[in-house]
Structure 1
Amino acid sequence: MKLFSERYGYTKPSDVIIREKITPEIQNAICSCYDKLKNRLFLDSGLYFDTDPYIALEQYLWTYFLNNREGDFQDGRRYYIVATAFLEDKNNSWYRKLDIVECTIKYLQDIDKRYNNWRTPVNQMFIKQLNFEFERLNFAYRIIGQEIVEITSKSEIATIEDAMANTSRNIKIHLNRALELYAQRPTADYRNSIKESISAVEAFCREKTDENSLGKALNHLEANGIIIPKLLKVAFDKLYAYTNQPDTGIRHALMDSDGAYTPASEEALFMLVSCSAFLNYLCRKIR
């Protein structure tokens, strides 16, 4: 009988957490954000603008991003489509595609300053929608202020990959499941992803010490000459305690009927990286 990891295949963190590339799904999502932006600007055009504000944005990108001659923006019958055409062009690099998004954000920021009496600043709407899509599709970037920043580094992904490569089959199954739950679509299961991450550490400790709890396992390792700095041990004990809180529903059923506490993607990724890093640390100490 095949095990879980054999049935479902080996999930690579680099295939789940997307960085230094834009997948077709992410590209479509960004283009959809521009579609929503166009519709929103069209609705407000009669209230705040003398001309079509989305065409003004496209002309700005044509002139100041592509550095084309402004007078060539119109070919006589129609205006050029700039933003989505640039995003859909396979010859353009992923980082230049993010450049045009940043350029758009900065342009819209100026528009919001000029027309600060409308109901919802259009720039905030655009950023909120983009960040929603980036999180939904596990894109390793977010928009903070007016800039796109990386929130998941290459080294964090490598940490997960190292833990998967250097631990036993049972531990790999937990890490692989944590990753799959994190990436699950249409709705990720962050609560159980965290549970699987901490379960990987527990499985490692049981494997090395036969103890049934993390605290006992760490004490067992120390009794056998594997010294873990006190503050580091306390830090991971507290992180372990976090997964056992009655209001999280991570290790036990939710104790409050409202389910007010819902782990987010940031917490699930933090736990996956932290547990992987701790496993790598213990592997090196035990060697």
Structure 2
Amino acid sequence: MALFSQRMGITPLEKAIQLESMDQDLRYGLWNVLQVCFWDQRGNDIYSQLDGVAKKIWFTFFKLPLDQCPNFFTYDMFDDLTDNCAFSVCRNFFLSHNTKWYQVYDFIEFLYNELKLTDIEKNKAIVFLNHMLERENAAYRFVGSQLVAISDENEINTIETALEENGNSVTSHFKRALSLLSDRKSPDYRNSIKESISAVECLCSSLASGKTKKFSDALTELERMCSFHPALKRAFLQLYGYTSDSGGIRHALTDESEHPSYADAKFMLVTCSAFCNFLKAKTSESLH
């Protein structure tokens, strides 16, 4: 429900999408997610890991002398939290306006991947993080174990399904495509597209039982097996052709080469994920 000030037109109903920025509401909100999901988990296995994780933060993330790393939480004789603890250093770093927006996201990713979480804990953290990102109109969502510049829920579900329901080789291509797309400092859209289409190529070969080496032949075999519309086959062959022509993605760079943007790479990741999900569903139907 809109608040009084929003209904009166004093404050905007929606803030601008935060793509390369992070306002105070978002920064504080994300810290509160860490507080609820990680820092407050006394008596939980997460809590027992924090001293070890502090050393990893010191050594790998902050790149500070390891012999200066304190315990994650340190209390005085009256059981009050002191400033001489890793928690306080992390908090000051996270909430400081001198810390860049992408460094905050780096910290969240690092922490999430260093903590050994149960599936329930992972799901809770991802749901809460994505809720906060959506609430504050951030242009990022947590997908798999990475923050990605994809804000549409259907796109997220499509990619997650492709990551979860395919074999190791296909999943590896999609994970790499996602990683190259979501690198906030030096994204590689060209190779992200290459990995996305390679995932489709890999799945088609696998579903066609490895009977053919050519992508077009594999699609023809799958068309025969699954009875999907020929237009879908033609459409994906054309998309594959976009990545394979003389100036395409899968060839060495030249002056005439394509220079894809974020939108191109995102489109290919979502489209290739959706097509793989479609092929898996169609082949499953054909077995019944």
TM-score (norm 1): 0.48
TM-score (norm 2): 0.48
